[in-house]
C-alpha cells in the first residue's frame, strides 16, 4: 500500500472482467492508514471509502495498461513497488477469471 492510496482487486465472472478500484488514503501521526477524513481503515472492515477511480479489463495486460499507461494520476500516486505488486495480482486474478475460480487478493 502506498501512503497516498491502495488498490482493491475483484473479479466479475458475469461480465468476464477484472475490476480494480483505487482508494485515496492518508497516514496519521500514529502511522495508521486512514481515509481522507481521518477514519482508521482496517484490512477486513466494511468501512471502505468510495473509490477515486475504477478500472475494468479482460486481462492483466489490459488492466495494467489502463492503470499505469493511461491513468493520468498513476505517476503521482503509485510507487514502482506498488505497481509491481498490482501487476502480480492482476496476473493472478486473470488466471482465476479464466479458470472460473475464486480470487483472493494478497
- DSSP letter string over 24-52? E-EE-TTS-EE-TTSPBP-SS-S-PPPPS
CB 68 within 8 A of CB 74: yes
Residue 64, CB half-sphere, CA atoms under 13 Å: how many?
Answer: 17
Q: Tell me if the pTM is above 0.95.
A: no
What pLDDT score does 1 carry? 63
What pLDDT score does 15 carry? 98
What pLDDT score does 40 carry? 85
What pLDDT score does 88 carry? 97
CB 5 within 8 A of CB 23: yes
Neighbours of 64 (CB within 10 A): 19
Query: Would you give per-residue pLDDT tens digits along the chain (106 residues)?
Result: 677 888 999 999 999 999 999 998 888 899 888 888 888 887 776 667 789 999 999 999 999 999 999 999 999 999 999 999 999 999 999 999 999 999 999 9
Amino acid at each position: 500500500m502506498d501512503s497516498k492510496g491502495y488498490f482493491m482487486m475483484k473479479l466479475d465472472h458475469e461480465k468476464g472482467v477484472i475490476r480494480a478500484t483505487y482508494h485515496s488514503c492518508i497516514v496519521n501521526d500514529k502511522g495508521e492508514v486512514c481515509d481522507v477524513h481521518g477514519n482508521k481503515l482496517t484490512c477486513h472492515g466494511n468501512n471502505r471509502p468510495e473509490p477515486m477511480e475504477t478500472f475494468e479489463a479482460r486481462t492483466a495486460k489490459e488492466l495494467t495498461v489502463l492503470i499505469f499507461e493511461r491513468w493520468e494520476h498513476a505517476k503521482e500516486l503509485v510507487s514502482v513497488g506498488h505497481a509491481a505488486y498490482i501487476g502480480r495480482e492482476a496476473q493472478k486474478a486473470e488466471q482465476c477469471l479464466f479458470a472460473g475460480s475464486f480470487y483472493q487478493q494478497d
